[in-house]
Structure 1
Amino acid sequence: MRSFLALDDIDPGELHRIVSRSVEVLDQREPLRHELGGKVLGLYFAKTSTRTRTAFTSAAVRLGAAVVPYGPADLQLNTGESLPDTGRVFGAMLDGLVMRTAGPLADMRLVASAGGLPVVNAMAAEEHPTQGVCDAATMLRHFGRVDDLSVLYVGEGNNTAAALGQVLSAYRGVTVVFATPKGYGLDAALLDALRKKGSEMDSRFHETHDLASVEIEADVVYTTRWQTTGTAKTSADWREEFRPFHVDDTMMSRWPEAVFMHDLPAHRGDEVGGSVLDGDRSLAWEQAWMKYGSAVAILEWVYCDSANSGAPESGQETTRRTD
């Protein structure tokens, strides 16, 4: 049994292969082999999802699996059944579970342990690891590499930011600056861990609350929506605190060579202007498409380890392809 719960659980070499396989899936033309034929996967989404839920459903079906979907009101968890008991039932009837909640990652580990089945973290409070794989794969597909990229993340230090930091910490020579509003930064322990990992990979991780102080030559400017699924703001004036972190054409002009990324959904006029999101420097829609490629790669890694075959290691370039 192998679960995909947190990026820090996965060996960097394995993670590189999953990321590379994600790109390969998106660019290949032939149908996928039914390597999950005969398996039944549960998809439990206690919180809303468009891209992740569709990606994993489509990936599972195209890999040959049957899918049992569960929405937020479908399980007896709502009537008081415990997570371990729910996990035991899942383990008896399913071959795996893709799970999204606003709860802690520990809940997913409990379900996996109690049920004895693989669990894929499709978003927990601390981290959104499948998004991290998607983000690195989008960069790899566009630049032909992830090593040595400079990334500016703008906005709340949420689970998307955590996953972005974790996945990029597996590559060499990267620079990541998290520009976050005061009181909405990354968890201090996570930032410290990223810096320690970065020192081993000749990479840098930095956080600032003053966007004007950012001096890197960014290859990527990345933002996410201000109203993150499953979270609430501590201040009634939070919109004013976030306003300086709005990504518009003026901000992007500071980094004229940078591409724009957004994990979607987007709220035009809040975290990003429409001309940036829909502009010719935006990778947001390719990034959304990459959710499918990364879902396939993750399911293959969990069940059949196809991600280990023939993919380049970090530092090896792939041919850039654009549509």
Structure 2
Amino acid sequence: MNGRTRRRSLLSIADLSADELVELVRRSSWHARADRSAAGTPLAGSVVGTYFRTTSTRTRTSFTVAAQRLGAGVVAYGPHDLQENTGETVSDTARVLSGMLDALVARTAADPAELRALADQERMAVVNAMSADEHPTQAIADLSVLSTLRGRLDGLRVCYLGEGNSTAAALALALARIPDATLHLRTPEGYGLPAYIRRMAMQTAALHGAVVDEQHDPHRIPEAVDVVYTARWQTTGSVKPDPSWRTSFTPFRVTTELMDRLPNAHFMHDLPAHRGVEVDAEVLDGPRSIAFTQARHKLYSAMAVLEWVVRGAW
């Protein structure tokens, strides 16, 4: 266990110090620039489990490939594979898996308390691959691509339009740790960040000279931003109680007209995207879109995260 009494887990960006977040982003950016073989196989002899209860293209593939590239074995579990389905407790499941796995990458899309229960043991690291309230590894990938593109993160200005979902929550908690960064969130009324996430992000931002600002007016877009970011409106595994919710969301669509008003801004999307819904096809597929580069950085951030939770260093 490399001298540690307890493996580190990554359940929330809030669990990371600003320095830890920056180091994970730097390592991810290093993987993006380095030769494929440069990292070697530091996880040789380790075994990583992937447990996905809901659909996943980028996150599941990135952690599987990351583990393999780093030399680890991989055991994959689908939504019906574990005995939790027959009534075994989460704590018993964790005790069993922790005797065999070095890390478990889990997408429960449910109460994050389940992830913390899985992590409540000393032998196995647990990585949140998206829960109902946060998608921390997405934020690390997002900052990785921006760090690689800009050469730095300080002073980054991002405007996010759409639902205050798990991606937006992780982005808020992450940018709150970056000096002089600004995150403008424009979310539909009733679909903003969870109150405790917003409060935590704003408190953290005040400590680092950053700004996290959430408003519900889609027409109040700042004139100068480095990035316009959106996510699909129907989050994986969620159902909106209001049948007319799309009416509230339509003004928050990222259009060619909006991007024309912000000629220096890149466009980001966590994918999957619905062209013509939350974003115009011309924007997603246009020259200023870095959405698919952003997706590729999911692999690099997964490599950085696995090194950090399994080995504790690089």
Scaled to the shorter chain, the TM-score interval is: over 0.9
Matched, 1:151 2:181: no
| Structure 2 residue matching 1:222: 3-state secondary structure | strand
CA distance in 1, matches of 2:301, 2:34: 13
1:216 deviates by 4.3
The one-letter code matched in structure 2 to 1:126 is: D
Corresponding position of 1:86: 93
Matched, 1:12 2:14: no
1:251 deviates by 1.4
The one-letter code matched in structure 2 to 1:68 is: V
Q: After alignment, is 256-265 or 141-150 more displaced?
A: 141-150
1:139 deviates by 1.0
Report the TM-score when normalising by structure 1. Answer: 0.92
Within a 5 Å distance, the mapping from 1:174-323 to structure 2 comes to 174-307=181-314
CA distance in 1, matches of 2:200, 2:11: 18
Corresponding position of 1:105: 112
Mapped contact 1:22–1:297 kept (Cα < 8 A):
yes
CA distance in 2, matches of 1:158, 1:37: 36
Aligned structure 1 segments of 4 or more residues deviating by more than 4 angstroms:
none
Q: Which runs of 5+ in 2 are unaligned?
A: 1-6
CA distance in 1, matches of 2:36, 2:281: 35
Corresponding position of 1:129: 136
1:306 deviates by 3.4
CA distance in 1, matches of 2:181, 2:78: 38
Q: Which runs of 5+ in 1 are unaligned?
A: 308-323
1:30 deviates by 4.3
1:95 deviates by 1.5
| Structure 2 residue matching 1:172: 3-state secondary structure | coil
Aligned length: 307
| Structure 2 residue matching 1:69: 3-state secondary structure | strand
1:211 deviates by 1.5
Deviations 1:242-294 (A, max 9, x none): 11111110111121110000000001111111110010000101000000000
1:304 deviates by 2.0
Q: After alignment, is 270-279 or 297-306 more displaced?
A: 297-306
1:298 deviates by 0.5
CA distance in 1, matches of 2:196, 2:36: 44
1:223 deviates by 0.2
Corresponding position of 1:36: 43
Mapped contact 1:259–1:281 kept (Cα < 8 A):
yes
1:115 deviates by 6.7
Mapped contact 1:45–1:100 kept (Cα < 8 A):
yes
* Equivalent position to 2:52, from 45, 56, 66: 45
The one-letter code matched in structure 2 to 1:267 is: H
1:78 deviates by 1.4
CA distance in 1, matches of 2:223, 2:149: 20
Report the TM-score when normalising by structure 2. Answer: 0.95
CA distance in 2, matches of 1:216, 1:100: 37
Mapped contact 2:103–2:309 kept (Cα < 8 A):
no
Corresponding position of 1:24: 30
Mapped contact 1:87–1:115 kept (Cα < 8 A):
no
